[in-house]
């Protein structure tokens, strides 16, 4: 199930169930998420040709290369490939926090809200949430205020988690620095859920390492806008990643000839970062085109995501667009996501299709 930005269900759960698999093998324009991007032919060739070994034994040269390249790109000592962003964030939380300790996290952050409570279930780590501000940042005075005194009554805060981008919004580098200063003063570690850090770096026109700089650990996704089929990478100090590898093994994320997946990641890092500027331009054009129609309000548009609301019934609109081979998840707020498989022409086709529907409805 996919939730919209305001946390409401985009489509009644029952309908998502019945729609599951509807899009298999159909040509379409898919604006539901950047996770739907598929590996290109060139990426598949790189995967097929990858040199591999048993990575649990440390024998896979392609995984080792991906980890070295990602650590270098993000300016950290070490890295590890994991199957998903959820597992990457969880390994970080488990490495930073002991049982009964707290992590401070945005109330609508992926790490808290969309990861099935893994930190609590598997780490006995207690979340302390704070509201996420409209610009995606946290109010650092509020963060400071929820850090509990040293007292037997209280769980001790150990970690502060930030998400960049959040709902497509790029957090200012100055905010990240302020968060790091607070974490330092209070003796907390700092983790970045940078699933879409690449989009932030492209939007800010800085190196990825600059976005990653203030953090002790950073999780990045290969399988969203970068277009790889599977995988996330956790980066940090050599010691943190050493601990992370133990947690990854325990969580079932030790993989064998995973060089096949790492090859896709390496291809993506080499070819698919800079081109995200096109995704950002496409999202802006989509927001502009849709916003020009009566009965459509663009709530925000940031990096590769446009959030719009329709006066018309969004579920009926979703159905109608599906008939045109266009996949969206209409809800009270509809999140439209551009990515490597959505072209500028696809955006125009979508604007036209929505216009036609609104004119006829």
Interface with ligand PLP, residue 347, by CB under 6 A: no
Ramachandran sector of residue 167 (left: φ over 0; alpha: ψ -120 to 50; beta: rest): left
CB–CB of 199/171 below 8 Å?
Answer: no
Cβ-based nearer residue to ligand PLP, 261 or 296: 261
- Specify the DSSP class assigned to residue 151: S
- Please provide the DSSP assignment of 155-216 as one string: PPEEEEEEESSBTTBPPPHHHHHHHHHHHHHHT-EEEEEETTHHHHHHHHTS-HHHHHTT-S
Among 4, 70, 86, 318, contact with ligand PLP (rule: CB under 6 A): 86
User: Measuring CA to CA, which residue among 116, 118, 76 is closest to residue 97?
Assistant: 118
Among positions 233-272, residues that touch ligand PLP (CB under 6 A) are: none
Interface with ligand PLP, residue 34, by CB under 6 A: no
Interface with ligand PLP, residue 232, by CB under 6 A: yes
Interface with ligand PLP, residue 37, by CB under 6 A: no
Cβ-based nearer residue to ligand PLP, 85 or 314: 85
User: Measuring CA to CA, which residue among 321, 318, 322 is closest to residue 330?
Assistant: 318
Among 84, 126, 237, 312, contact with ligand PLP (rule: CB under 6 A): 84
Binding segment toward ligand PLP, per CB under 6 A, in 7-15, 80-88, 123-131, 202-210 = 80-88
Cβ-based nearer residue to ligand PLP, 319 or 341: 341
Among positions 137-196, residues that touch ligand PLP (CB under 6 A) are: 163, 193, 195
Cβ-based nearer residue to ligand PLP, 147 or 268: 268
Cβ-based nearer residue to ligand PLP, 105 or 260: 105
Order of strands across the sheet that contains 217-221: 78-82, 232-236, 217-221, 189-194, 157-163, 102-106, 126-130
Among 221, 234, 260, 327, contact with ligand PLP (rule: CB under 6 A): 221
Q: How far is the CB of 86 from ligand PLP (least distance, A)?
A: 3
Q: How far is the CB of 33 from ligand PLP (least distance, A)?
A: 8
- Please provide the DSSP assignment of 79-118 as one string: EEEES-HHHHHHHHHHHH--TT-EEEEETT-HHHHSSTTH
For ligand PLP, the binding residues (CB under 6 A) are 84-86, 110, 163, 193, 195, 221, 232
């Amino acid at each position: 199930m996919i939730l919209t930005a305001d946390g409401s269900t985009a489509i009644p759960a029952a309908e998502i169930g019945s729609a599951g698999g509807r899009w298999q093998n159909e040509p379409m324009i898919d604006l539901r998420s950047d996770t739907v991007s598929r590996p290109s032919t060139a990426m598949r060739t790189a995967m097929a040709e990858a040199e591999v070994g048993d990575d649990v034994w440390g024998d896979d040269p392609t995984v080792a290369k991906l980890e070295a390249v990602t650590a270098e790109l993000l300016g950290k000592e070490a890295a590890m490939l994991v199957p998903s962003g959820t597992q990457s964030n969880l390994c970080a939380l488990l490495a930073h926090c002991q049982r009964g300790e707290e992590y401070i996290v945005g109330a609508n952050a992926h790490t808290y809200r969309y990861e099935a409570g893994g930190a609590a279930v598997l780490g006995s780590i207690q979340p302390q949430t704070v509201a996420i501000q409209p610009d995606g940042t946290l109010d650092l005075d509020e963060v400071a205020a929820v850090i509990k005194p040293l007292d037997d009554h209280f769980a001790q805060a150990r970690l502060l988690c930030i998400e960049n981008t959040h709902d497509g919004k790029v957090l200012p580098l100055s905010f990240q620095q302020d968060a790091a200063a607070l974490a330092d003063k209070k003796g907390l570690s700092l983790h970045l859920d940078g699933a879409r850090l690449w989009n932030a770096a492209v939007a800010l026109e800085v190196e990825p390492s600059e976005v990653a700089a203030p953090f002790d650990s950073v999780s990045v996704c290969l399988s969203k806008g970068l277009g790889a089929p599977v995988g996330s990478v956790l980066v940090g100090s050599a010691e943190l990643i050493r601990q992370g590898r133990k947690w990854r093994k325990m969580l079932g994320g030790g993989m064998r000839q995973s060089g096949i997946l790492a090859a896709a990641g390496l291809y993506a890092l080499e070819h698919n970062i800079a081109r995200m500027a096109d995704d950002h331009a496409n999202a802006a054009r989509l927001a502009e085109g849709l916003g020009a129609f009566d009965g459509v309000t663009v709530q925000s548009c940031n990096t590769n995501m446009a959030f719009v609301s329709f006066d018309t019934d969004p579920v009926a609109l979703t159905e109608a667009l599906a008939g045109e081979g266009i996949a969206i998840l209409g809800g009270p707020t509809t999140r439209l996501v551009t990515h490597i498989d959505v072209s500028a022409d696809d955006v125009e086709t979508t604007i036209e299709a929505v216009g036609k529907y609104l004119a006829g409805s």
